[in-house]
Structure 1
Amino acid sequence: MTKINKIGVFTSGGDAPGMNACIRAVVRTAIFSGVEVSGIRRGYQGMLESDFWTMNARSVGNIIHLGGTILKTARCLEFMTDEGIEKAYRNLKSEGIDALVAIGGDGTAKGALRLSERFDIPIMCIPGTIDNDLYGSDFTIGYDTATNTVIEAIDKIRDTAASHNRMFFVEVMGRDSGCIALRAGISGGAEAVLLPEVETGIDELISKLSIDAKNKKTSSIVIVAEGDKSGGAYQLAQRVTEKFDYYDVKVTILGHLQRGGSPSSFDRVLASRLGYAAVNELLRGNSGQMVGLRGNTVALTPLSEALNASKFKLEEDLMEMVSVLSI
């Protein structure tokens, strides 16, 4: 492996709180090690357009507390074509970039895997996504902050639900992953949680809510991941209303509120650890890996394995707890 003189860093896909803390760690770790850094604005789109920014230690000052990403982010279909990926590689070499640190979710990792397999450029990925859905890391950057944002909203919704005889369906992000919904459901004291990974029939849900009504529950919170197979919070609320009139039913869609905000202390530390580790692993000669956290230890997972959806599982004990603790 040739010596790395310049590392390119970029964020791609959906933004996540803590990405700036990660960029900061990558830039300062590289510079501390005598390596130049080029920020790539707007992810793979920026690679195609040579949107590069020569960064120094001051470039990342006063950003650790900011949500979003100072490098911006975008989704880029052109990069997935043969012509697009070849153009991106040529631009990287023209800029003198010897290695890459990619921060993002599964789409970002897929692009990085394809680039590393096609061309001889070292790449390390850092999981930055509120969905927490990459195998090989217990937590992804932004997940903790997003979940806390949901909890703050649920606590406020419960206040008004308890003041009336109301049931709230609260829809949270998670097209393919129920991680936010599951933990928010437990920590928010939800009566039911609907997940993409588990099919919950409408009759089963109504049966649960009927038991709650018989037990004199005067309000109820149902958390729905946006990817739930029942069709989302509005459709569920309508179907429940048609069959069950004990509660006054309301719907709240939290949407992109969950992506924003200042990252939690946990996300800042996680992002800093993973950014620091990614640079050091590149300098040790590693490539094609995702840097994650298992237990309290930084660990590497091959990108092909990190993207293997069949290996990613929700915690069974947490799913069992939802029904037990909501009686």
Structure 2
Amino acid sequence: MEFKNHFYCVIMAGGIGSRFWPLSRESKPKQFVDILGIGKTFIQLTYERFSSFISPENFMVVTGKAYKEQVLEQLPALKEEQVWLEPERRNTAPCLAYAAYKLREKDPDAVMVVTPADHLIIDTATFSRVMQQSLAYAAGQDRLVTIGITPTFPSTGYGYIEVEDKHTAFSRVLSFKEKPDYDRAKSFLEHGGYVWNSGMFVWSVNTIIREMTVWLLDIADAFAGLAESYWTPGEQSAVDKVYVASRSISIDFGVMEKSHKVDVTCADFGWSDLGTWTSLYEQSGKDEAENVLSGEQIIANDTRNCFVKELNPDKLVVADSLEDLLVVDTEDVLLICPRTDEGRVKQIIEGSVSLKKEYK
């Protein structure tokens, strides 16, 4: 059997990305937006990274019904049947149960790599090598593989994985740790036996399905019951009914933290989960005053530690005597807030009952 013919990439692209407001909104979430200002969206960058070793016909995107056309527009190599639609958000376990059971009906020998649509990867060559090694490993082993990232600082924004032996290509996972406070994150770094949890996974459809039947039997049974509907005209209505009745639970909590078949491969390829303006600020190039100035015409005078993003190339922005501010100017919204307290903006927008829908 030629393993590579059975390698698939499942891109999870159903989130809203509300912490990147006002660029990311419910009508056009961050995975479909050129937030980096490089002419490509997150989902396009994700597809590019995997396309060097995954065939175009072996990509699947799981997303909300409202985003189907955006996926097809931004990834023209994909056909309509490669975009799988969730009627409602139910976290990652139902999403991946749907993907695994449906994919197994097409290819019982399928091995799938699972990735969010919004990660930043700097070293794509190393990334490609690690992913191909993980796919080959998962194809020959009855194991679930999670991709661990060698930590470079005590991050409180990522979960951690305790590793049995970081020096082997694939090590047993000892435990998963939730996002820690700073002191605990620092102790993880000093210990040396912990890596960041990237949220990327590799497994054969048969292995993940077996583990779901052990740890998530209700969800496994629900999607197993759709076997005769997959790849038929009646699939969507059948999937809709199952989703509505399904509980919301992550694959991490539902399977990965409980299974005894989880391995981790530790890698360093310049990974970042860009979930907030703060994380983008930390990853971006800065001027001598620690400002990130993203726009065609921005003048910063006596301004420090600010993130200024202007989308209009014809608009001049002058920032004078500012410090620690986030300024984002879009076509219809101007956001100004403390750069280190951007989380309040999400609460303000979600709590505003009078706000027009197009702003949310």
Q: TM-score, normalised by structure 2?
A: 0.27
Greater helix percent: which structure? 1
Greater strand percent: which structure? 2
Q: TM-score, normalised by structure 1?
A: 0.29
